[in-house]
Structure 1
Amino acid sequence: MPLSRRRFVRTAISAPLALSLPRFAMADLSIGSATLTTVSDGSLTLPGSFIFEPMPQDELAPVLAEFGVSSERLTPECNLALYRDGTNTVLFDVGSGPDFMPTAGAVTDSLAAIDLAPEDITHVVFTHAHPDHIWGLLDEFDDPLFYNATYMMGRAEWDYWWDPETVNTIGDARAAFAVGAKRRMQVIEDAVVRFDDGQEILPGIAALSTPGHTPGHMAFELRNGTDSALVVGDAIGNHHVAFRKPDWESGADQDPALAVTTRNMLFDRLMAEQMTLIGFHLPNGGIGRVGQDANGYRFLEGQ
């Protein structure tokens, strides 16, 4: 079969990399007869103030000390959920690509480590359109990297980033987010499938509106047989203050008050149903459950 330009470039660069692939954090979960794997896009490097600035600093310090988290510098993982049911190979979000942070953009190497290539992905489903979730959409030719995939995004999220006024109203610190999202969305404008809250977007995958981090942020309930899990994206954005103090507003959220309401709704549901969650920025692959102790909620890794 003749090599496409994508396949040629990937083949040329993958050979020397094959012997030196880093070991990316991954986790696996069986959901009925389906499999969910998290694949790493690397990590971010953020100032602590990005999240912690609006929080009560005297109460924040002991929470950070409990988890060994710095108030100055954060390095959260970026974990993309990959769902395979024998028919569909679904990737939730696409990571950062090469243009956001040098510590991120590793999803293609992570997929290669489990013998998958971009063309094997049948569907890309977006939780939201922040850079670490959508900037990896395009390849080095500014074409869709996952070129065989159907792209899917919640209607409210699409409409927000597509609106030409968003770049003027989102604030200076996030204006580049709006420009970058719009540029990538323009490439898939005619092909993207949009959906609404509660809709079953694929067999066994239902959308759940979780706004606040962004206006149209979506989580996804995965069900296969009697098993279930919830892909929460950034609606629960870390394993420390988001769990211990879900009522605290975070600087990472575009609508902090609404994000608090969403977070509490998710914790109530995850606890009531004892459902597994998959969080984009949760540690060690991001798969676990919500537990509770005298100090509040706690992320139970891998359970």
Structure 2
Amino acid sequence: MAPLNLKRRTLLQAGMAAAATAMMPMGLRQANAIEIGDAVLTSVSDGNLVLPVSFSFPDAPQDELMALLVKNGLATDTLLPDCNVPILKTADRLIMFDVGAGANFMPSAGKLIDNMADAGFDPADVTDVVFTHGHPDHLWGLVDDFDEVVFSNARFHMGRTEWEFWRNPGTIDAMPEERKTFAVGAQNRLAFLEDTINLFEPGAEVLPGIEAVDTSGHTPGHMSFMIHGGSDPLLIAGDAMTHFAISFEYPAWPTGSDQDPEKGAATRLRLLDRLATDKASLTGYHLPEPGEGKVEREGSAYRFVAAG
């Protein structure tokens, strides 16, 4: 007989899938899929964040920032970045990059499991979860309301530096007061993976055809992942770039979401140059849904060209 908590989780997931099949609940969004050689990458929405502009870009030149937002038809007080979770289907694996925010971060996020069901994905079929970093909107969806790991059949992979940062007991005290909950939440959730996590270094082939790219700065061990096997490589960028206009037109501007703003800016500049030079495709976690496109040079800066 299955343990009660396992039965409850199974019933909960079955109920979600049945509801998604019967009708698309309000707020769910269609997934988007692209082919990479023999694999298919699907972008599944976890909803969106609601962030004050004053938090996101406190040290950017404010007059120029406001003008850029207005030019792009955006509000000047609040940003609403999408959350795009990439899922890569290969011949023998179903690989997720990050796991969304779960139910306890922001009401506007945490939609991943419902949207996965709508896109035809079952959490039980996920073979691998590869983390870009440990921020709440990328990690907190790991565990459900019953303190069960949602992707129960998956292997989990994280860069060694990122893992050691969040698992360090001193990280909570070292974080600014407004971000201590980030560290508490990360430590609570990563404890579930203590005995099973696969740690890797920059440059490693994490899984076949998936190259780990050091994009630290946003967090101490933030990783992006270059997917090889298609006609052009594709980068899963995580939060290396977080805004479709600002991160490309003014990549040197510091952002409030980067733990090390100076290093984050240097990482953006290096990465944008590589993407434009290699003509690689890009999917960004917080770029406009589904987050996919290319990087082109525009004078001394860059621009994001959405796919399709």
Provide TM-score, normalisation by structure 2: 0.94
Seen in structure 2, the aligned counterparts of structure 1 residues 204 and 63 have a Cα distance that, compared at 3 Å, is same
Moved over 4 A (4+): none
In 2, Cα distance between the equivalents of 1:250 and 1:265? 16
Amino acid of the residue matched to residue 138 of structure 1? V
CA offset digits 1:209-248 (Å, max 9, x no partner): 1001000000001001543100000011110211110011
Please tell me whether residue 277 in structure 1 is matched to residue 282 in structure 2.
Answer: yes
- Structure 1 unpaired stretches of 5+: none
The match for 1:24 is 29
Cα shift at 1:4: 3.7
The match for 1:127 is 132
The match for 1:187 is 192
Q: Note the 1:117-266 alignment, pairs <5 A.
A: 117-266=122-271
In 2, Cα distance between the equivalents of 1:165 and 1:227? 42
> Once superposed, what is the RMSD of the aligned Cα atoms?
1.6
Contact 2:24–2:118 (Cα < 8 Å) also in 1: no
In 1, Cα distance between the equivalents of 2:193 and 2:217? 25
The match for 2:117 is 112
Which of 8, 33, 55 is residue 11 of structure 2 equivalent to?
8
Please tell me whether residue 45 in structure 1 is matched to residue 44 in structure 2.
Answer: no
Contact 1:210–1:219 (Cα < 8 Å) also in 2: yes
The match for 2:87 is 82
Contact 1:96–1:105 (Cα < 8 Å) also in 2: yes
Amino acid of the residue matched to residue 247 of structure 1? A
Amino acid of the residue matched to residue 13 of structure 2? R
- Give aligned-pair identity as a percent: 43
Contact 1:80–1:91 (Cα < 8 Å) also in 2: yes
Cα shift at 1:295: 7.7
In 2, Cα distance between the equivalents of 1:23 and 1:179? 29
Contact 2:31–2:119 (Cα < 8 Å) also in 1: no
Please tell me whether residue 297 in structure 1 is matched to residue 274 in structure 2.
Answer: no
Cα shift at 1:15: 3.0
Provide TM-score, normalisation by structure 1: 0.96
Residue-pair matches, total: 303
Amino acid of the residue matched to residue 244 of structure 1? E
Which of 59, 65, 88 is residue 64 of structure 2 equivalent to?
59
Amino acid of the residue matched to residue 84 of structure 1? K
Contact 1:76–1:282 (Cα < 8 Å) also in 2: yes
Seen in structure 2, the aligned counterparts of structure 1 residues 97 and 36 have a Cα distance that, compared at 3 Å, is same
Seen in structure 2, the aligned counterparts of structure 1 residues 167 and 264 have a Cα distance that, compared at 3 Å, is same
Cα shift at 1:12: 3.1
Contact 1:27–1:286 (Cα < 8 Å) also in 2: no
Cα shift at 1:5: 3.1
Contact 1:63–1:244 (Cα < 8 Å) also in 2: no
Contact 2:30–2:119 (Cα < 8 Å) also in 1: no
Cα shift at 1:20: 3.1
Which of 92, 97, 101 is residue 97 of structure 2 equivalent to?
92
Seen in structure 2, the aligned counterparts of structure 1 residues 29 and 167 have a Cα distance that, compared at 3 Å, is same
